[in-house]
Amino acid sequence: MMRNENLTQGAFSFVNGSSEMASLIRMKNWSGSPLGALESWPEMLKSMIATVLASPFPMHICWGKQLFLFYNDAYRPILGSTKHPVAMGNPIGDSFPEVWEQVGPLYQTVLEGQSVRHSDRELILNRNGSPETCYFDFSYSPIIGRGGQVLGVMTYVVETSVRKFAEIEKLKLSKSVYAINEELTTSNEELVQANEELMAVQEHLKQTINQLEESDTSLRLAVEAADFGIWHIHSLSRDFITTPRLRELFGLGHFEKIIIEQAITQIREDFRDYVSTTLENAIYNNGEYDVTYPVIGLNDNKLRWLRAIGRLRADPSGEFSDFTGVVMDVSDIKKDEERKNDFIGMVSHELKTPLTSISAYLQFLEMQISKAGADNLQRPVARVIMQVRKMSKMIEGFLDLARFESAKIQLNREIFDLAGLCTELELEFADQIGTHIIKFSGKESVMVFADRDKIAQVINNLVGNAAKYSPNGSTILMSCVRKKNIAMVSIQDQGIGVEGNEQVKLFERYYRGENNGTIAGFGIGLYLSAEIINRHNGKIWVESEAGNGSTFWFTVPLAN
């Protein structure tokens, strides 16, 4: 039995209640404590303890300057599992060292006679073995003795941690709700904007579709008006899609089916290889396609000249291409051209015979003059011979043109040394072209497989032009080199040059440059040269700048 178990009367009456804390105070042996035996405690202290113990509200008092702590049952949970029961009757500072720096000064203030009140005061307590953030509402007021002196501190305390945490959570929640709301508002605004943009794009798309439809209609009308046939070739499946007009041009009924191989067999034999090679080249080398060829109608056996223009359109996937084009009937134009060519051919032929006789007579005359020593006649006769030679060359050109147009020209290929040919021609030029210095820089032989006469004709033509379009006395340089599997020849002059935009046109039939002035010509020399080189599967082009001379290049394949 504890020492004070029966002492519930008299001096102990202030702790005779049934509360847990009353019993704790009652049963504790106070005689060794700084407060001394319980019986000796001041009446005021006893009366305050009795008041605290009787309160259902969390309360404690801190007695004296050392602030001996006495608390009631309602206050006890605040002390957690570690501070109770040691705290009872001991200086409060000893029980709350972790917060004493914060609350100690408050007690001092109260000991000096002032009251203190705090709401939701945050304190980090170590009451259950680890630091814990807690919140309290409390009021500290002085216990005033009869003489007016402060005897201790009376405290009402409510722990508000649960409510405070709920509030903090609520605040956090409402902050995140606010943030989400903000985000929602922003994304809503973005959505509105995106929607507006989408509507604008849609509007634009509508307009584009309208324009496309319009241009499609105009294209259809134009195609119909021009009587064009249209075709598509898929580079992988080789599907050949055609319009009724195209089938008509190939002599088929509107609803008959046509496959590409059959269309090719209808091309006249002498053009077949040329057309199919050009077509394959264009399909697989991303090229454009513009060929004119004769076709024999399948059902009507009629010969039609067709011009097909096509262009490759790569699919964005990169896997296949669509080769699309139009075909038009150019039979009438072709007939006109044929008539014109026949006429040119016939006239040239008729002119050639008397010119050949004139040349022969002139050579005879030249010999006689030289025998007779009639020196004064030598120069004029030489001039006449030169003019006749020029005329012969021109007529030869027209005859060649006629031959090319009627595809009657044949290549007689042989293996020969192209550099050797250039050396030979260099010597001839020295005789024939006295107005310019002509130099050939080639040293090594370059063996090619080509028509020697035709290649000589091309070089003749290019050197003749170089002399024609550059000042007298200037130099013309010829070169012949080997590059990988081709031979390259260049003829460079210091003449009037060619504007960039004109450079491709020079090789067209009858094309004459704009800055020729009074220099005479028919615009067929380069066309013929290009035809010859193309038939050799070579290339011909010019590098030039107006006023700064030109370099004409051509290539032919090397002999294997």
Provide, rounded to whole angstroms, the least separation between the CB of residue 470 and ligand ADP.
7
For ligand ADP, which residue of 59, 298, 526, 556 counts as binding (CB under 6 A)?
526
CB of 525 to ligand ADP, least distance (A): 3
Q: Where are the alpha helices (DSSP H) in 227-330?
A: 244-249, 260-265, 269-284
Q: What is the 3-state secondary structure (H, E, C) of 115-181?
A: CEEEEEEEEEECCCCCCEEEEEEEEEEEEECCCCCEEEEEEEEEECHHHHHHHHHHHHHHHHHHHHH
Identity of the residue, 328 or 524, whose beta carbon is nearer to ligand ADP in the bound complex: 524
| Residue with Cβ nearer ligand ADP (75 or 469) | 469
Q: Which of residues 82, 187, 217, 516 is near ligand ADP by CB under 6 A?
A: 516
In the structure encoding, which two tokens stand for residue 429, read together? 């030029």
Number of residues located near ligand ADP, criterion CB under 6 A: 21
d(CA 85, CA 67): 16
> In sequence order, what are the residues at sequence separation of 6 or more whose Cβ sits closer than 8 angstroms to the Cβ of residue 560?
449
Give 160 or 555: the residue with its C-beta nearer to ligand ADP. Answer: 555
Which part of the chain contacts ligand ADP (CB under 6 A), choosing from 302-310, 427-435, 439-447, 509-517? 509-517
Handedness of CA 427, 428, 429, 431 (dihedral sign): positive
Q: Tell which one of 15, 143, 422, 506 touches ligand ADP (CB under 6 A).
A: 506
**In terms of Cα–Cα distance, which of 389, 345, 339, 338 is closest to 363?**
389
Shortest reach from residue 429's CB to ligand ADP, in Å: 14
Cα atoms in the Cβ-side hemisphere of radius 13 Å centred on 364: 6
| Stretch 62-121 residues interacting with ligand ADP (CB under 6 A) | none
**Does 496 interact with ligand ADP (rule: CB under 6 A)?**
yes
Span interacting with ligand ADP, options 69-77, 281-289, 373-381, 461-469, rule CB under 6 A: 461-469
Backbone angles phi, psi at 163, to 5 degrees: -65, -45
Q: What is the DSSP letter of 473?
A: T
Q: Which two tokens stand for residue 74?
A: 């309602």
Query: What is the smallest separation between the CB atom of 446 and ligand ADP, expressed in angstroms?
Result: 23
Q: Which two tokens stand for residue 62?
A: 């801190």
Given candidates 138, 289, 429, 469, which one binds ligand ADP under the rule CB under 6 A?
469
Joined tokens for residue 199: 């509507």
Task: Quote the least distance from Cβ 392 to ligand ADP, whole Å.
Answer: 15
Task: Decide: is 228 part of the binding site for ligand ADP (CB under 6 A).
Answer: no
442 is a contact residue toward ligand ADP (CB under 6 A): no
- Residue-wise DSSP of 480-539: EEEETTEEEEEEE--SS---GGGTTGGGSTT---TT-TT----S-HHHHHHHHHHHTT--
- Min dist CB 528 to ligand ADP, Å, is 8
Which one among 232, 512, 535, 539 touches ligand ADP, defined by CB under 6 A?
512
Give the nearer residue to ligand ADP in terms of CB position, either 68 or 507.
507
- The residue among 30 and 511 lying less far from ligand ADP, judged by its C-beta, is 511
Does position 463 interact with ligand ADP (CB under 6 A)? The reply is no
Structure tokens at 500: 């960039």
Say if CB 301 and CB 309 are below 8 A apart: no
User: What is the closest distance, in whole angstroms, from the C-beta atom of residue 532 to ligand ADP in the complex?
Assistant: 13
Residue number with the smallest Cβ distance to ligand ADP: 513
Minimum CB separation from ligand ADP for residue 505, in Å? 8
The neighbour count for residue 135, using CB atoms within 10 Å, is: 20
Strand boundaries in 385-494, DSSP class E: 413-417, 437-440, 447-451, 475-483, 486-492
The region, left, alpha or beta by phi > 0 then psi within -120 to 50, assigned to residue 433 is: beta
Q: Is 457 in the site for ligand ADP (CB under 6 A)?
A: no
Q: Is 524 one of the binding residues for ligand ADP (CB under 6 A)?
A: yes
Among 345, 442, 495, 538, binds ligand ADP (CB under 6 A): 495
**Which range in 137-145, 170-178, 477-485, 505-513 contacts ligand ADP by CB under 6 A?**
505-513
Interacting residues with ligand ADP (CB under 6 A): 465-466, 469, 493, 495-498, 506, 511-513, 516, 521-527, 550
